[in-house]
Each structure stands twice: as C-alpha cells, then as structure tokens.
C-alpha cells in the first residue's frame, strides 16, 4: 500500500516535470537553438517519449488489474446465455475489458461458437477487442483530451456492434470451417486469475512488465516518426492530403491502414503529428482504427477457422464502418 | 518429487509468448530431471478439446492449469508438485 502510494507520487512528479525537463535538455544540454526544425523535433521527442511511456505504464497497470475481473471463460458464460441484440451490445463492451491477444483469436472464436454464442455476437466481440484498445484510449485522452477519446471509444463500440449485427443477419454460419462445429470440448475454466487484491496488483505489475517491455521500441519509433513530422513537415502540408476537403482521403487512409499492423501505442504519436499538421480528425481516426482494428496477421490467423467469404465479409463490414466514422467526423468537427 | 506426471502440453499458435512459456517449462523439467514429456501443441482442435480460449496455456496430463499468460518458473515448479 505504502509502496503503491510512493510509486504514484513519484509518477505524478515525473509527469509534471516533463515540459521543463524537455526544454532544458533541448536548449541547455544539447544546445539547440529554439525555433529550428531540429530543436522542435528533438523537444517533441524528449517530451513525448517519457510522457507516453509514463502514461502507458499507468494505464497498463490499471487495465491489468481490471482484467483480473474479466476472463475469457467468464465472458463466454455471460454471452452464451444472452440473445441478439443484447448479446451483440454486451459482446462489444466485454471485448474492451476481457484480456485478448490476436494470437488467441482462433481458440477464443472456437470456444465461443461451440458453446452456443451466436456468430454475430462472437464477431461483435472479435471486432471490439482489438479496435477499442485501452492503451489507445488513454493515450488519446492524455494527448488530445476527453472528447477525442470518447469519440474513439463510442465509434469503436458502434462499429463492433453494427458489424456483429450485420454478420449475424447475413447468416454466414456455413462459411465457418466445418471442423469447428465438430469439436467436442469441455470448458476447462482454468483461468487461474487471482481473486484477492494483492494478487490483482501483482498481475497489474506483471502486465506492465510484459506489455511495456514489449511495446516500448514501437512507441519510441512512433514518437521518432512523429517528431520528424513535427519538425520538418510544414504545418499545413497534411491539410491538402488528409484535410477535410479531400473526399478520397478517408478511403485511402483505410486502405493503407488495413494491411498495416502496429500496436496502438506506436500509432498514437503519428496520429498526433498528423493532426497537428492539418490532417482532419475523421481521416486520422479512420487510419488509426484500420491499423489497429483490422490487421493482416490476424486475418491470416482467422483463415484457419473462417472461409474466405466470411473473412472478406468481416473486413468489408468493419472497413465500411470505419469509413462511415471517418466521414461523419470530418463532417461534424 | 512428483514422478507421476507423464505429459506437459504447452498450447499456443506459435507466438513469442508461447515460445517463452515452452522455454520456461522445459527449463523447469530439465532442471528437476523429470521423466515427463514436454510437448508444444499448435493444433486448434486440441486447444478446443481442452477448452483453452487464451494462449499460451499449459496442460498437465490433459488438465489445463494455466491460460493466457507466460508463467514464472516458480509457478511451474509448484504446479508440477516440485515444491
């Protein structure tokens, strides 16, 4: 408890001293003249890198603790007992808080479908789980404020629910590989998730070690790209390419984003830099969602259980949802 | 020493976390000189059969004891009844 509080105080102190620290490093330690492209890029990097990593550690810890309350097994039990459309809505919400990694997508899919969770409900979960990413959510909150974060979460959930509902209506059960339905398994229920608070906190700390330990190079790379854009790309450069006036920008952003795969933490600094240089919010949001919500590796993995028609439908429906979100936001903001 | 354990299965689609889990289990088994078999299973049928929905997972003689995370060596020792 005391250690925890001390860690939190230290965290806040580090976080608050970042602006001054980054100016000091750029101007005094490195001796860069203010106003040059290099100084601007370096200051961006030395400010954003520790800031994003600090935010990331805090969020991942909180999420690690929250997730000890939600296990795939428990989520499946809840979903197997509900019908559409309630199940579709619930699945999207549970998709946000249930621990999920795209490498578990197949066993999870089989587990859901064979225990009687409808296909549409399963997809609602499978879309929401990667798309509404807690890391992305809190980074957006920290970098752009609650409005953008709320918009991201709301639209992400909406896309998951609508996609799940549409796929459910299309009756595509026969486009699931047949062997999936022939599997007879017993739900193991061995999640071994801690149920006491010290255990939950330990899980949170372990999650920080595991996730931050894995994503930090991507985060730094993302911030470096962001810093490059920040320093050298002229302010309104993106306005013509990704601005509101360019109708083709949203579909292009989605098309480029789908095959790309990055983790959420790495894409946010790029998003920040693009927005700053005049790209429209909807276009950038669409790009980000396409990158983290739909990825080539995940579809390749899902091919093991889904026939090509269903994969194509999945990408098509979710892609269309992202497209609509992009246009709506460019129209609204 | 628990000599009754015959097979330890590490279930996962071959991602980095599954490899790591395999290494941890092998290390513990070799260190303790156990005669049991350590197998890496990538078959989704087998995962479904065991009811695994989160990988990496570890099953001892067909019973899932851990799922969805990379275990520490100490945990595996306990699960194998070495401590």
Choose, from B15, B53, B54, B73, the residue flagged as catalytic.
B15
Query: What does the pLDDT read at residue A187?
Result: 59
Whether B18 sits among the annotated catalytic residues: the reply is: yes
From B54, which residue of chain A is nearest by alpha-carbon distance?
Answer: A104
Pick from B13, B63, B68: which is nearest to A99 by CB? B68
Query: What does the pLDDT read at residue A167?
Result: 93
Q: Best interface-test mutation with A: which of B54, B66, B79 has the largest number of A CBs within 10 A?
A: B54
Q: Nearest CA of chain A to the CA of B45: how many Å?
A: 7
Pick from A184, A190, A301: which is nearest to B66 by CB? A190
Query: What does the pLDDT read at residue B1?
Result: 46
User: In the predicted model, is pLDDT for residue B44 greater than 50?
Assistant: yes
Across the beta sheet with B37-41, the strand order is B37-41, B7-11, B57-60, B63-67
CATH 3.40.30.10 fits domain B2-79: yes
Query: What does the pLDDT read at residue A192?
Result: 58
Cα dihedral B61, A210, A71, A117 in deg (nearest 10) = -90
Exposed/middle/buried for A38, CB within 10 Å: 0-12, 13-18, 19+?
Answer: middle
Pick from B13, B50, B66: which is nearest to A106 by CB? B13
- Between B23 and A24, name the one with better pLDDT: B23
Query: What does the pLDDT read at residue A307?
Result: 93
Query: What does the pLDDT read at residue B39?
Result: 93
Pick from B50, B55, B70: which is nearest to A104 by CB? B55
Residue B8, phi then psi, degrees to nearest 5: -115, 125
Residue-level length of chain B: 83
Cβ separation B44–A301 shorter than 8 A:
no
B52 neighbourhood in chain A, CB within 8 Å: 107, 111, 188
| Mean pLDDT calculated for residue range B23-39 | 91
Query: What does the pLDDT read at residue A185?
Result: 66
Spans of chain A, pLDDT less than 70: 1, 185-193, 235, 238-240
Interface of B with A (CB under 8 A): 11-13, 15, 17-18, 44-45, 47-55, 63-70
SS3 A245: coil
Q: How far is Cα A247 from Cα A241, in angstroms, rounded to an integer?
A: 10
Cβ separation B48–A110 shorter than 8 A:
yes
From A187, which residue of chain B is nearest by alpha-carbon distance?
Answer: B51
B63 neighbourhood in chain A, CB within 8 Å: 188, 190
Instruction: Look up residue A32 and give its DSSP letter.
Output: P
DSSP string, A275-330: HHTT--HHHHHHHHHHHHHS-HHHHHHHTTTB-HHHHHHHHHHHHHHHHHHHHHHH
Q: Nearest CA of chain A to the CA of B53: how many Å?
A: 4
Cβ separation A305–B44 shorter than 8 A:
yes
Q: How far is Cα A325 from Cα B26, in angstroms, rounded to an integer?
A: 48
Q: How far is Cα A279 from Cα A265, in angstroms, rounded to an integer?
A: 20
Q: Which two tokens stand for residue A134?
A: 């807690």
Exposed/middle/buried for A32, CB within 10 Å: 0-12, 13-18, 19+?
Answer: middle
Cβ-contact A240, A201 below 8 angstroms: no
Exposed/middle/buried for A42, CB within 10 Å: 0-12, 13-18, 19+?
Answer: buried
Query: What does the pLDDT read at residue A125?
Result: 93
pTM: 0.82
């Amino acid at each position: 408890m005391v250690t925890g509080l001390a860690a939190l105080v230290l965290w806040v102190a580090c976080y608050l001293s970042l602006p001054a620290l980054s100016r000091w490093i750029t101007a005094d330690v490195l001796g860069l003249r203010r106003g040059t492209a290099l100084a601007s890029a370096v200051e961006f990097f030395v400010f954003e890198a520790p800031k994003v990593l600090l935010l990331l550690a805090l969020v991942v810890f909180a999420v690690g603790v929250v997730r000890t309350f939600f296990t795939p097994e428990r989520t499946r039990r809840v979903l197997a007992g509900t019908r559409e459309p309630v199940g579709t809505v619930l699945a999207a919400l549970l998709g946000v808080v249930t621990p999920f990694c795209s490498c578990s997508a197949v066993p999870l899919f089989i587990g859901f479908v064979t225990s009687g969770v409808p296909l549409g409900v399963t997809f609602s979960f499978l879309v929401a789980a990667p798309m509404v990413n807690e890391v992305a959510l809190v980074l957006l909150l920290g970098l752009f404020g609650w409005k953008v974060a709320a918009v991201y979460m709301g639209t992400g959930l909406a896309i998951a629910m609508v996609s799940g509902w549409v796929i459910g209506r299309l009756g595509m059960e026969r486009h699931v590989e047949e062997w999936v339905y022939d599997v007879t398994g017993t739900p193991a229920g061995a999640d071994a998730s801690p149920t006491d608070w010290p255990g939950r906190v330990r899980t949170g700390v372990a999650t920080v070690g595991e996730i931050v330990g894995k994503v930090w190079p991507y985060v730094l790379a993302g911030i470096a790209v962001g810093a490059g854009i920040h320093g050298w790309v002229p302010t309104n450069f993106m306005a013509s390419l990704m601005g509101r006036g360019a109708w083709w920008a949203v579909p292009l952003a989605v098309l480029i984003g789908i095959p790309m795969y990055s983790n959420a933490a790495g894409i946010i600094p790029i998003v920040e830099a693009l927005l700053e240089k005049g790209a429209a919010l909807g276009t950038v949001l669409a790009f980000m969602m396409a990158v983290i919500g739909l990825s080539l590796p995940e579809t390749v993995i899902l091919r093991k259980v889904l026939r090509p028609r269903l994969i194509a439908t999945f990408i098509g429906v979710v892609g269309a949802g992202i497209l609509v979100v992009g246009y709506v936001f460019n129209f609204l903001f | 020493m628990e000599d009754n354990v015959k097979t330890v299965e590490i279930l996962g689609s071959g991602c980095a976390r599954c490899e790591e889990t395999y290494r941890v289990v092998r290390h513990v088994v070799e260190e303790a000189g156990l005669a049991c078999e350590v197998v890496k299973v990538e078959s989704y049928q087998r995962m479904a059969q065991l009811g695994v929905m989160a990988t990496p997972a570890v099953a001892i003689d067909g019973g899932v004891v851990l799922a969805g995370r990379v275990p520490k060596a100490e945990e595996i020792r306990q699960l194998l009844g070495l401590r």
